[in-house]
Amino acid sequence: MSVWDPVFNLGGHAVTGAELAMAAGALVFVLLIAAVVLAWRAGRTRQREALEAVKRAGELELRLAEMAGQLRAFGEAAQNRDTHIARTLDERLHQVSHRVGVGLSENSERTTQSLQQLHERLAVIDSAQANLTRLSSEMLTLRDILSNKQARGAYGQARMEAIIRDGLHASAYSFQSTLSNNTRPDCLITLPDSPLAIVVDAKFPLEAFNAMKEAKDEVAVRQAAQQLRHDVGRHIRDIAEKYLIPGETHETAILFVPSESVYADLYEQFEDVIQKAHRQRVVLASPNILMLLVQTMQAIFKDGRMREQAHLIQKEVGLLLDDVGRLRSRVIDLQRHFGQANQDIEKLLTSSQKIASRGTRIEQVELGEEADAKSAAKPALVAER
């Protein structure tokens, strides 16, 4: 088979082997040309890429150099900033240390002062505690006194005697005196211009009051109140029967209550007891009330002493009036002497004025004679010239 023989038909045209070989060669040539073109383009592309790579490398080196410079500048700035920060921190730490030292010193001084003040206050507290301890012991002693009937009577007697001694003269009262019925009241007060004495009793019953204060239920309180009414009523009756003696003692007696609180409770809660005492002509008096009564008695004693000394006062007033009369007559004499002295002084002034006027005239006469002598001497001198 030759190359010119048809191989296949293509669209009614018989394709030979030579044509096929030629087509294959042309295709190979075209492919070679395409390969050369592509290789050339690839070379151009690689060359351009290489140039661009070199350019990029240069730019990268330039940027790296700039970045290195910036990094060096940043490092220097950072170093300077670190140095400044370190110096600032040192200064601040020094200032803070100084302030802390000063603050600690001031706090130490204040703490020392506070401790001293605390020590002083503790000393005051210790003293107050000692006073409280002493006061508590005294209160316990007072409670023992009030719990003992005889000691309580002595306590009330002592308070009553102190109030009366402070307010009245010793001749106006007497303690534990004996009456005509052989009873001995705690105190007798004698008023002026009266033979009757006022009786003061200081033995007030407090057992029922203490029981009422210590009661824990209503039944106990009611029982204690009933006992209180009974004890106080019986004591008031005893005072009225023993100490109210006609013609010897005053018609009213005083029952001294040594506690203001007991006196207030009695008037507030036991009005029937107070009324019973009034009917029995017995007056209950607390320390303040007794002091007020004593002051009233002071005024009575003062008025009595004034009445006793009335005749002496009248005598002294008469003598005083005589002295005033003599003083008036002497003042009149003195006034008359002063009038005469004024007349004498006026005469003396008149005489002195006359003497002065005569001296003036004498002086004027002497001056006139001297002037005449001088005028007579002048013509003689002119003639001599």
Question: What pLDDT score does 140 carry?
Answer: 44
Domain assignment present for residue 329? The answer is no
Name the strand (E) or helix (H) holding 199: strand 197-201
Contact 199, 243 (CB under 8 A): yes
Question: What pLDDT score does 382 carry?
Answer: 41
Domain assignment present for residue 195? The answer is yes
Domain assignment present for residue 234? The answer is yes
Tell me: the pLDDT tens digits for 156-169? 788 888 888 888 88
Domain assignment present for residue 128? The answer is no
DSSP 1-22: --TTSEEEEETTEEEEHHHHHH
Range of the domain at 173: 149-314
As for how many domains the chain has, the answer is: 1
Tell me: the pLDDT tens digits for 184-201? 888 888 887 778 888 898
Instruction: Output b/e per residue, 29-66; b: 16+ Cβ within 10 A.
Output: eeeeeeeeeeeeeeeeeeeeeeeeeeeeeeeeeeeeee
- Please give the mean pLDDT across all residues of the chain: 77
**For the whole prediction, is pTM greater than 0.75?**
no
Domain assignment present for residue 169? The answer is yes
pLDDT of 368 higher than 80: no
Domain assignment present for residue 335? The answer is no
At 148 the three-state DSSP class reads coil
The radius of gyration of the chain from alpha carbons, rounded to an integer in Å, stands at 71
Section 282-287 average pLDDT: 88
Q: Which span out of 105-114, 263-272, 314-323, 348-357 was modeled with the highest average pLDDT?
A: 263-272
Domain assignment present for residue 13? The answer is no
Tell me: the pLDDT tens digits for 215-240? 778 888 888 888 888 888 888 888 88
Question: What pLDDT score does 381 carry?
Answer: 44
Domain assignment present for residue 175? The answer is yes
Q: Which residue has the higher pLDDT, 252 or 299?
A: 252
Section 355-364 average pLDDT: 76
Contact 159, 290 (CB under 8 A): no
- We report the CATH number of the domain holding residue 251 as 3.40.1350
